[in-house]
Chains A and B, each alone.
Chain A
């Protein structure tokens, strides 16, 4: 392991290791690696989500309250159907359990839909995109920003005559589309973010808002329904036999009637107020085409200024409602069940605002010897090209980016090697490499080795563990960079000779 402040000549020794173990070293990785089964994308999803059924179901990390919701609904409805319905269907009409059943079915269906579906998560930017954005931002800002964390970046856009500020998300490395917001609980940017609902155990966003609304609406009806008929049941029974007698008679024929009725009534009473209230609130939001987020912040309220209006509203309540509830359903952008392609770069775990490209090669186990050798020759050829042209622009591109290791060509050489060549003693090997690999993408003008062409060191996937270290702090000077270039090419020449 090189000591801190590694320099050119040291690297040569490490590069030569690649040549001898070009195919085997990528295989030997500290990480557990599946040799046979290709992995699905949900397994390496960077957000804080839980997946079930091989990626079909997606929920937030904390699901305890969701189970509580389920229990409350199931138990209350169960008690209703078991103890009240037989009496009521006899006494009044069998339509009561029928309607109750339909409502219950609807409530469960929409609840599960809300909880299990993708709310509209925006996938994080690929390293190329992020680099491109960084470049543009730096050009726009003019100078390199001081400090570890650059000042917040915003972009202004005019939508229907209203100026909207788009914020840059440091975690996802994208400019958030309008109405999107980053959920800190799930650590994802969600489109048309409404709120994170612990009761359904998921965020509520563009893709599941209508399910959420139908859920609370149908649940309001269900609670009112159950509440009304529980009261009716008690009243009827008391009329029939006298209230106290009804309870006295119960133990034999209707066990725990008192407890049943009481518990149902209590649950329903409290639910009615809160859920009906919530339904009313969301009906208002839908009709004015706002999100909870916007309403709470008062983004479009008149108090901010006379000229302030909601640019997304269609003008009338009916169209707003139809658009929210019956509009087209956009597909999930995160492709949970897709297989990880060997040429697709994956993003690492939550980076929490640290400027770091945690992308890595796809952990595909298919690292042929052929592919490795071909790629190394490729690397040679590509790396040779920069030396033919002067690259003063590199520094302007890369130095202003704080916290990034600038060793483009060197990064490519470390593919397949467990230890990073430059001075990063604090790193674990895998994370060091994950950082190194995408950095070559920033090497503007010369992305001579992209994840598509490189052999994939499968062990380099950090498997979702939070990466919070300072390995990105090294910034090399121009002079050392030139020597690095030369050294790296020398190293490459050695490689290709194998």
Chain B
């Protein structure tokens, strides 16, 4: 029952989506909640999921880090009246590329084989990590119907 990413989209039907919301307890920096959504209980090991979210959080922390190199970049940009942004890629953008690679790799190795798909938060305005839960077409009726009516959901109430 191993799916590759492309196969997943074609052969499986989307059952539901789970949203991992932002964790604002540290301010406005981009962090996601590591709380394990109940819908994924049967689909993936808790530890793997938490590992993914923690790694993503660390990537975002790195991107938004205020330190020597970011100051240098900021001052240089200011000195050139910000024209330098026309030709240079910012540190944040570089990290975002790393993140997107990481997500793709996670999808291929871990999530797709379990019938799940992570969406890059950048595509969702950095609001949520969207996890699509797919049901295998062949196995009709064996749908777990991931989100139950009384699910408290992944996000904080």
Contacts and interface: CB of A to CB of B under 8 A. Distances in A.
Interface string A199-229: 0000000000011001000000000000000
Contacts of B82: 109-110, 113, 211, 214
A330 to B, nearest CB: 6
Nearest to B96: A331
Contacts of A326: 66, 70-71, 73-75, 78
A122 interface: yes
A331 B24 CA distance: 19
Interface range, B side: 35 or more
A260 B64 CA distance: 48
Interface string A302-328: 000000000110000001001101111
A221 to B, nearest CB: 13
B125 A122 contact: yes
B149 A327 contact: no
Contacts of B17: 128, 132, 447
A65 interface: no
Nearest to A107: B81
A140 B157 contact: yes
B39 to A, nearest CB: 10
A383 B12 CA distance: 14
Contact of B24 (A125, A164, A325): A164
B28 A177 contact: yes
B152 interface: yes
B145 interface: yes
Interface string B3-38: 000000100011111110010111110000000000
Contacts of B122: 331, 333
A382 B75 CA distance: 56
Interface in A139-180: 139-140, 155, 157-160, 164, 166, 174, 177-179
Interface in A10-39: none
A169 to B, nearest CB: 11
Contacts of A381: 13, 137, 140
Given A126-B124, A132-B19, A385-B141, A452 B14 contact: yes
Interface in B138-157: 140-141, 143, 145-153, 155-157
A329 interface: yes
Interface centre among A123, A132, A179 (most CB of B within 10 A): A132
A282 interface: no
B14 A453 contact: yes
Interface stretch (A46-54, A362-370, A388-396): A388-396
A382 B13 CA distance: 8
A325 B27 contact: no
Contact of B92 (A164, A331, A334, A384): A331
Given A178-B27, A385-B141, A445-B145, A452 B71 contact: no
Contacts of A128: 17, 19, 130
B93 interface: yes
Interface of B: 9, 13-19, 22, 24-28, 63-66, 70-71, 73-75, 77-78, 81-83, 85, 90-93, 96, 122, 124-128, 130, 137, 140-141, 143, 145-153, 155-157
Q: Which 9 A-B pairs have the closest CB atoms?
A: A326-B74, A393-B149, A109-B81, A123-B125, A445-B145, A140-B157, A333-B125, A326-B71, A157-B24
Interface of A: 105-106, 109-110, 113, 122-123, 125-126, 128-129, 132-133, 135-136, 139-140, 155, 157-160, 164, 166, 174, 177-179, 191-192, 210-211, 214, 311-312, 319, 322-323, 325-331, 333-334, 378, 381-382, 384-385, 388-389, 393, 396-397, 444-448, 450, 452-453
